[in-house]
Amino acid sequence: MLDRGQALIRQVASFRSLSLGASSAFADEIRDRVRALGANYVGEVIMVIPSGASRAGTLEALAGDLANVERYVGIPYWSKRNHRTYDLFDKMKIVERTVQADGQTVVVDQHMEPFADYRARYSYELDGAELRFRSENMTTISYKGFDAVAPGNMVWYLYGFRDEGATCLYGVGAVKAFDLFGFFGDRLRTSFMGRIQAFFSYLYAKRTEGTANHG
């Protein structure tokens, strides 16, 4: 799938099974954070745009999409449980935006069914041939009346870099969730993994025509 320029989607058992093998400070940050989190739900979405298809402005265009958090509303999410498409986010209210020379940080109040409203931070940096994106929840994420995810326990990372002419996009979402002693385990796994897949697949699909697999 990677050789064909398609997105490869993986559910990962633990940080030990992460596919990210790059040697850089940001790659180390991602591996260290996922390991320290002790997440029980981890998903990866990976794509390699071959050198012949990769454009010079790929990472710049991706940074622009990440910066426009208002457009996250309406990203399509296919619910395996309900067999229909929903909006990944149906609310995205900007609380604070800080612009740096190489990127920005945005704090938002957002809503993502079937969870209650929560506050999140999104930030990205575009530095030469590297794009570094981070997201984490700043407040508790509740599910059906109980606290499922404590502040800082859901993180999403996107690492874009160039290697031998190709553009590599590595996305990972990791969640440490309380599943009410297993009662909501399958539902939460499906919800979190599906949303990780939807977010990164949507971004990847915009890079090259027909590259993302939404399977």
Higher pLDDT, 164 or 62: 62
Residues forming a β-bridge with 123: 105, 134
0.85 exceeded by pTM? yes
Residue 148 to residue 184: CA distance in whole angstroms? 10
Examine the pLDDT at 88 and tell me if it is beyond 80.
yes
Residue 158 to residue 12: CA distance in whole angstroms? 16
What does the block give as tokens for 108?
A: 């938002």
Examine the pLDDT at 16 and tell me if it is beyond 90.
no
Higher pLDDT, 201 or 82: 201
Q: What does the pLDDT look like over 26-81, one tens digit per residue?
A: 999 999 999 999 998 999 999 988 776 545 578 898 999 999 999 999 899 888 77
Domains of the chain (ranges; CATH) run: 8-17+40-205 (3.30.530.20)
Pairing relationship of beta strands 154-163 and 166-175 according to DSSP bridges: antiparallel
Residue 86's pLDDT band (boundaries 50, 70, 90)? confident
Handedness of CA 205, 207, 211, 213 (dihedral sign): negative
Question: Mean pLDDT throughout 79-101?
Answer: 89
Residues whose CB falls within 8 Å of the CB of residue 127, separated by 6 or more in sequence, listed in order: 102
Q: What is the mean pLDDT of the chain?
A: 86
Give the residue among 153, 163, 135, 167 at the shortest CA–CA distance from 57: 167
pLDDT over 90 percentage in the chain: 54
Question: Mean pLDDT throughout 79-95?
Answer: 88
> CB of 62 within 8 A of CB of 131?
yes
At 213 the pLDDT is 37
Residues whose CB falls within 8 Å of the CB of residue 142, separated by 6 or more in sequence, listed in order: 115, 116, 118, 148
What does the block give as tokens for 99?
A: 């612009």
Residues forming a β-bridge with 100: 103
Residue 206 to residue 186: CA distance in whole angstroms? 30
Helix axes 185-205, 58-67, angle to 10 degrees: 130
First-to-last alpha carbon distance for the chain, in angstroms, is: 12
Question: Mean pLDDT throughout 180-186?
Answer: 57
Handedness of CA 176, 79, 117, 105 (dihedral sign): positive
At 215 the pLDDT is 35
